[in-house]
Amino acid sequence: MAVPDFDVIVIGAGHAGVEAAWAAARMGRRVGICTLSAETVALMPCNPAIGGTAKGHLVREIDALGGLMGRAIDATGLQFKLLNRSRGPAVWSPRAQADKRHYGRWVREALTSAPNITWIFRRAGRVLVEAGHVSGLEFEDGGAVSCRALVVTTGTFLNGLVHIGDEQRPAGRAGEPPTHQLAESLRAFGFEMGRLKTGTPPRLDRKSIDFSRFKEDLGDDPPVPFSFSTDRIDRPQMACHIVHTTEAVHDLVRSHIDRSPLYNGQISGVGPRYCPSLEDKVMRFPEKERHQVFLEREGLDVDEIYVNGMSMSLPAAIQDAIVHAMPGLEDAVVMRHAYAVEYDFVQPTELSLSLEAKRVPGLFLAGQINGTSGYEEAAAQGLMAGINAAQRCVDATNVVLGRDQAYIGILIDDLVTRGCLEPYRMFTSRAEHRLVLRIDNADLRLTAIGRAVGMIDDARWARFETRAARLDRNRARAATTRVVVNGLTGTAAEALGRPLVSMDNVVSAGYAFETDGVREIDAATLEAECKYRGYLKRHDAQQARVESQHARRIPEEFDYEGVPGLTREVVERLSAIRPVTLGQAGRIPGVTPAALAIVASRVRKLGT
């Protein structure tokens, strides 16, 4: 067979596509990235911000594996905050507002300067298959390129339909034509597909708002970076402004609630439940007199102001009335009304844990096309699809992260095991091992894995090893230094283990904590290990037994049809998903403990 044009082709340059291309290129593959426009690379069509609870965890993990997102936001962020700082380190989560245009440009530059990435600004049309394996990509306007592996990351474009008020128009996003041919090509493989919807709040014109009337909200000083490789954030930080809703606003929402597609049934359970809309806040928490809304700038050179906390699905005229009812926004000009987009997605149960399509070897899917919502969720999948597509080209083993290893592992396991009935967003509560999966130790969990596949260069690796060695020294000293804190004597580690005792307390009591200046993260690791030690010790012992049962592998060729006692429905679910382990089988909806017991006893009998 002739050498193909590319090793890996990536369709789409959203947050998933750029990570996929970057990863495959870093691993030495020749990559083509096919997208519609240079202007929309890594675009943020909604909230111009990266991170947030659980999403921030994803970004740290992407970074620990050698991905782009953490560095991109560190370079272009306007305001950084570590959320949940008043809670324990396991739920600290970084969030930053991005300068939207600069962010996209930074990412485009990163890909352009990578040695083996070629941009292909064309419209992808058809996935080509030869001898049961992906062989290339045909463009909508003719012509084709060949490849060994193909990663599709077309986001909301598949048969996209934008709703603005009552108006509906085919579009991938506002102002961009949708993708039909590629959608047909995927459908032709027989994938189970579904339709989801998502929306974005209105934008206001900066020039029509008198910001002096609002309380300023500042970010952290100093800002805590996302990337393990960023020492300091040097860009000037910007304030955003806080507005509060009033009873008048709530009344408007309540009196028009029957015109909200989210509530009147027009959008039924297919929109993101989690990104709480204004309607949700008003209806679900009637006892709250006011809700906070942030006015956020989308960039230094952009006039649009993003109204964070006011996503809604009410008609345009009511949106105007609501905006104008907010104290201080009486004269604000709405530049763009909230809109929603409806799109096709592929049920991710069509994929294996490597994100490769079970029906079409060599074809990988990542991002919103798999039913997720959010830049970070998309980027995380893109990275893993890129890594596994690169591995595929040289027949190397898949890289699959466990649920106890990374939020990325949970994300992908949930998707391919359970499928999507509504847009999937990451939450820390999805993690069984939440106290272990922290932002401070993402590198300890994952950087060696990134290194093994060639994602981590020597400089980064050296930095990691220095940090790990320093942590070990800090741990050893914490176990031996005796301190008195709040009248109690004990080791520094014991003191840190108590609620309400902070690293500062322990350091002022005489514990010599070694740091390279980025103290936050080093201290967090130690504090978490001490605070959670009691629980984790008990929990690990308890879980060990369960896990060993759950880790038991189900043979690849295992035939569920032949297993008596399983209902038709369960046989079909299991045969379609083909879980790798008993644990995964147990997470499939509809597989009861009884059904799992039947499968387990059969697997055991086969003596695998």
Ligand X SMILES: Cc1cc2nc3c(=O)[nH]c(=O)nc-3n(C[C@H](O)[C@H](O)[C@H](O)COP(=O)(O)OP(=O)(O)OC[C@H]3O[C@@H](n4cnc5c(N)ncnc54)[C@H](O)[C@@H]3O)c2cc1C
Binding site for other proteins (CB under 8 A): 53-54, 83-84, 86-88, 90-91, 274, 276, 288, 291-292, 294, 308-309, 427-429, 432, 434-435, 498-500, 531-532, 535, 539, 542, 546, 549, 564-565, 592-598, 600-602
Cβ–Cβ < 8 Å for 272, 422: yes
Out of 83, 114, 123, 448, the only residue in the binding site for ligand X (CB under 6 A) is 123
Binding mask 356-375 for ligand X (x = CB under 6 A): -----------xx----xxx
* Shorter beta-carbon distance to other proteins: residue 8 or 282: 282
| Window 374 to 413, contacts with ligand X (CB under 6 A) | 374-375, 378
DSSP 42: T
- Judged by beta carbon distances under 5 to 8 A according to partner kind, the member of ligand X, other proteins, none in contact with residue 15 is ligand X
Residue 382 CB, nearest approach to ligand X (Å): 6
Q: Applying CB under 6 A, does 351 fall inside the site for ligand X?
A: no
Instruction: Indicate the residue among 20 and 91 with the shorter CB distance to ligand X.
Output: 20
Q: Which does 112 bind (CB under 5 to 8 A by kind): other proteins, ligand X, none?
A: none
If contact means CB under 5 to 8 A according to the sort of partner, which of ligand X, other proteins, none does residue 565 touch?
other proteins
How many angstroms separate the CA atoms of 425 and 568, rounded? 31
Residue closer to ligand X by CB (options 228, 343) is: 343
Site size toward ligand X, by CB under 6 A: 36
Contact partners, residue 383, CB within 8 Å, separation at least 6: 19, 20, 22, 23, 62, 65, 67, 408
- Residue closer to ligand X, measured from CB, 308 or 474: 308
Point out which residues pair with 150 in neighbouring strands.
9, 363
Residue 238 amino acid letter? M
Q: Which residues pair with 503 in a beta bridge?
A: none
Task: Give the torsion sign (CA, 4, 107, 518, 234).
Answer: positive
- Site for ligand X contains 154 (CB under 6 A): yes
Interaction of residue 319 with ligand X, rule CB under 6 A: no
Question: What H or E segment, with its residue span, contains residue 477?
Answer: helix 458-480
Site string for ligand X, 70-109 (x = CB under 6 A): ----------------------------------------
Nearer to other proteins, 83 or 238 (CB): 83
How many helices, marked H, and strands, marked E, lie in the chain? 20, 22
Task: Tell me which residues in 177-206 interact with ligand X (CB under 6 A).
Answer: 179, 182, 198-200
Residue 594 near which of other proteins, ligand X, none (CB within 5-8 Å, type-dependent): other proteins
Q: Least Å distance between CB 263 and other proteins?
A: 20
CB of 599 to other proteins, least distance (A): 9
Q: Which CB sits closer to other proteins, 89 or 450?
A: 89
How is residue 263 written in tokens?
A: 């509530």
Q: Are 238 and 286 in contact (CB under 8 A)?
A: no
Q: Which does 36 bind (CB under 5 to 8 A by kind): other proteins, ligand X, none?
A: ligand X
Closest CA to 428 of 437, 416, 417: 437
Q: Which residue's CB comes closest to ligand X?
A: 155
How distant, in Å, are the alpha carbons of 32, 263, 355 from that of 147? 9, 46, 18
DSSP assigned state of 340:
E
State whether residue 557 is helix, strand or coil: coil
Beta bridge partners of 161: 170, 342
3-state secondary structure (DSSP) of residue 487: coil
The nearer residue to other proteins, 53 or 515, going by C-beta atoms, is 53
Give the count of beta carbons closer than 10 Å to the beta carbon of residue 325. 18
Q: Are strands 124-130 and 133-139 parallel, antiparallel or unpaired?
A: antiparallel
The Cα 383–Cα 113 span in angstroms is: 18
C-alpha torsion 151→152→153→154, nearest 10? 160
CA dist list (Å): 401 to 304, 326, 355: 39, 46, 12
The nearest distance, CB 88 to other proteins, in angstroms, is 5
Chosen from ligand X, other proteins, none, partner binding at 354 (C-beta under 5 to 8 Å by type) = none
Binding-site string for ligand X from residue 472 to residue 511, where x marks contact by CB under 6 A and - marks none: ----------------------------------------
Span of 153-161, 286-294, 459-467, 561-569 interacting with ligand X by CB under 6 A: 153-161
- The answer to whether the beta carbons of residues 107 and 18 sit under 8 Å apart is yes
CB 242 within 8 A of CB 293: yes
Asked if 45 interacts with ligand X (CB under 6 A), we say yes
CB nearer to other proteins: give 112 or 601. 601
Residue number, 83 or 576, with CB nearest to other proteins: 83
Nearest to 159 by CA among 17, 343, 336: 343
Minimum distance of other proteins from residue 564's CB (angstroms): 3
**Segment near ligand X (CB under 6 A), from 33-41, 71-79, 218-226, 251-259?**
33-41
Please name the residues in contact with 431: beta carbons below 8 A apart, sequence gap of 6 or more.
Answer: 403, 407, 410, 437
Residue 8: which H helix or E strand, with range? Answer: strand 6-11
- Nearest-angstrom CA–CA distance, 408 and 402: 8
Of residues 341 and 346, the one with the C-beta less far from ligand X? 341
Nearest to ligand X of 15, 60 (CB atom): 15
Which of 8, 9, 10, 13 contacts ligand X by CB under 6 A? 13
In the numeric block, which tokens belong to residue 60?
């740290």
83 binds, among ligand X, other proteins, none (CB under 5 to 8 A by kind): other proteins
Question: Taking CB under 6 A as the criterion, which residues in 515-554 touch ligand X?
Answer: none
In angstroms, the CA 321 to CA 314 distance is 11
CA–CA gap between residue 198 and residue 186 (Å, rounded): 22
d(CA 100, CA 191): 34
Q: Does 271 bind ligand X (CB under 6 A)?
A: no
| Site mask for ligand X (CB under 6 A), range 161-180, x = bound | -----------xx-----x-
H or E element at residue 243: strand 240-244
Q: Of the listed pieces 28-36, 84-92, 143-151, 520-528, which binds ligand X according to CB under 6 A?
A: 28-36
By CB under 6 A, which span of 11-19, 245-253, 462-470, 490-498 interacts with ligand X? 11-19
Alpha helix positions (H), 256-306 = 261-264, 278-284
Which residue ranges make up the site for ligand X (CB under 6 A)? 11-17, 34-36, 40, 45-47, 123-124, 153-157, 172-173, 179, 182, 198-200, 275, 341, 367-368, 373-375, 378
